[in-house]
Amino acid sequence: MEFVLNALVMGYRPLWNAQRHLAGVQLFLHDTPDNPADTAHLLRILQEMWSPHAPLLLLSPQSPALLQGLLAQIGPNPSWALEVRAEWLNANALLRALATRAAEKGVRLVWRGSMERLPTAQEANNFACSLLHLEPQDALALMHATADQAVPQRLSLLEGQMYEDIHSQALARRCLEHYHASAIAGWPDEDVLHKLRGARVLHPSHEHVLRLLKAVDADQSLETFEDILSEDPLLAYRFMLYANSAALGARNPINSLRRALVMLGYGTLKEWLGTQLIHASHEKDLQPIRLAMVMRAELTSHLLDAGVSQELRSEVYLCGLFSRLHEVLDEPLETTLTRLPLSERIPQAAVQGEGPYAPSLQLAQALESEDGAHAIRALCEEHEISLEHVNRTLLRLVCEWPNQRPSW
């Protein structure tokens, strides 16, 4: 049997709580019928790699056979839960028996299915939580309902559950704030950005601007400054625009955050941050979008060969971080990137899909999809990248993301 991290294709989806913090990560697990995965080995790897600081993990097997293997092997663990799809459970008596046995052992199971076909009260006893999706017509009706408006009984959402495929900012808010959902799987990026852009120009996060100001006042290191800048794509972009502006009269193009910090100095940086703080954004619905862009940047930089220098890895990080700026700024990405004297390798990868950074960026993008297995395998084969490296990179980074535990 093939080593499990070469036999599986993984992907991920963030789970967001009411504070718009990372509540957990849904880990998609794809196997192939002719090469069953060693589920016991997979669980041992997860146990070894996980730490108390990692977010909760929702294991999401993408085939009944893989679910069966996991149900047979999994034990209770505070770091993870196992998703069980309703349609597979209803069609397979063995899966039902295994799910009951796992629940009796204390394994945290999550029922995934439609609001229209909920489990019976007896079945629900086996599950710690549900991951529910709404039928399109029901989602539309709820979107049009105001926060305090009564809705038909069949549309009343269950409190404390998780919801997926929420494409409306209003509905996401209703789930999290009116029905106290424990998490939203994914985030309605397009609708949030459309609504916010229509009202005003988007600005960097107030939290990040203030953190950076405090770091400057505390005379912290350039590494700390760069880390904070790297956590807000819009702040990093505006800072590089400023560093290259005619007002500062830089003799040579500044193409990295570190170089910009060195060239500006503490006094100029603090003055610029003061101007940014005046208009900085307090909009919490932007936080999931911001962190998702950071996740892509982290994956892009770490998927690159481990032998590259830190300077080069920082450049690849910027490639991933800026790859979605066109969504935030509502303009072609090529237009956005041409304003900065970046390495040509960044627009080459982010705009043209070519060059040395393109494989890492394309893999990072494919990892964000539940149905990205085919694209991931194709990219790995084309660029001679091992699935083990991709999967280990994803798992390692998930362990480093901030821990905001939900109540599943």
What is the value of pTM for the model shown? 0.93
pLDDT at 62: 97
Of 400 and 227, the one with more pLDDT: 227
- Based on the fold, state whether residues 246 and 325 are members of the same structural domain: no
pLDDT at 285: 96
Instruction: Kindly report, residue by residue over 264-287, the tens digit of the pLDDT.
Output: 889 999 999 999 999 999 999 999
Q: Is the pLDDT of residue 262 over 50?
A: yes
Tokens 């702040």 correspond to: 235
- Based on the fold, state whether residues 261 and 212 are members of the same structural domain: yes
Residue 386 sits in which domain range? 284-400
- Report if residue 408 sits inside a domain: no
- 356 secondary structure, DSSP code: T
- Based on the fold, state whether residues 173 and 225 are members of the same structural domain: no
Q: Among the three residues 222, 251, 279, which one is the final residue of a domain in this structure?
A: 279
- Based on the fold, state whether residues 81 and 153 are members of the same structural domain: yes
Task: Work out whether the CA dihedral 63, 69, 72, 76 comes out positive or negative.
Answer: negative
| Least-confidence region, from 77-91, 177-191, 307-321, 372-386 | 307-321
- Based on the fold, state whether residues 370 and 245 are members of the same structural domain: no
Q: How many Å apart are CA 71 and CA 39, to the nearest integer?
A: 9
- Based on the fold, state whether residues 334 and 264 are members of the same structural domain: no
Mean pLDDT, rounded, for 222-233: 95
Calculate what percentage of the chain has a pLDDT beyond 70.
93
Reported as a pLDDT band with limits 50, 70 and 90, residue 1 is very low
Instruction: Kindly report, residue by residue over 18-67, the tens digit of the pLDDT.
Output: 999 999 999 999 998 888 889 999 999 999 988 888 889 999 999 999 99
- Based on the fold, state whether residues 146 and 22 are members of the same structural domain: yes
Domain count, the chain: 3
pLDDT at 104: 96
- Report if residue 222 sits inside a domain: yes
- Asked whether the beta carbons of 25 and 400 are under 8 A apart, the reply is no
Instruction: Kindly report, residue by residue over 295-324, the tens digit of the pLDDT.
Output: 999 999 999 875 668 888 899 999 999 999
- Based on the fold, state whether residues 145 and 169 are members of the same structural domain: yes
User: Best-predicted range by mean pLDDT among 129-143, 181-195, 393-407?
Assistant: 181-195
- Report if residue 294 sits inside a domain: yes
- Report if residue 199 sits inside a domain: no
- Based on the fold, state whether residues 38 and 183 are members of the same structural domain: yes
- Based on the fold, state whether residues 260 and 288 are members of the same structural domain: no
Instruction: Kindly report, residue by residue over 346-360, the tens digit of the pLDDT.
Output: 999 999 999 999 999
From the CB of residue 91, how many other CB atoms can be counted at a distance below 10 Å? Answer: 11
- Based on the fold, state whether residues 326 and 393 are members of the same structural domain: yes
Instruction: Kindly report, residue by residue over 190-216, the tens digit of the pLDDT.
Output: 999 998 887 667 899 999 999 999 999
DSSP output for 197-227: HHHS----BHHHHHHHHHHHHTT--HHHHHH
pLDDT at 246: 74
- Report if residue 242 sits inside a domain: yes
Q: Among the three residues 131, 157, 187, which one is the final residue of a domain in this structure?
A: 187
Instruction: Kindly report, residue by residue over 96-155, the tens digit of the pLDDT.
Output: 999 999 999 999 999 999 988 888 888 899 999 999 998 777 777 776 665 555 555 555
DSSP output for 75-125: ---TTEEEEEEHHHHHH-HHHHHHHHHHHHHT--EEEEEETTSPPPHHHHT
- Report if residue 195 sits inside a domain: no
pLDDT at 87: 95
Residues forming a β-bridge with 84: 111
pLDDT at 256: 92
- Report if residue 382 sits inside a domain: yes
Q: Among the three residues 122, 155, 187, which one is the final residue of a domain in this structure?
A: 187
- Based on the fold, state whether residues 394 and 299 are members of the same structural domain: yes
Mean residue pLDDT of the chain comes to 90
- Report if residue 192 sits inside a domain: no
Q: Is the pLDDT of residue 405 over 80?
A: no
Q: Is the pLDDT of residue 220 over 90?
A: yes
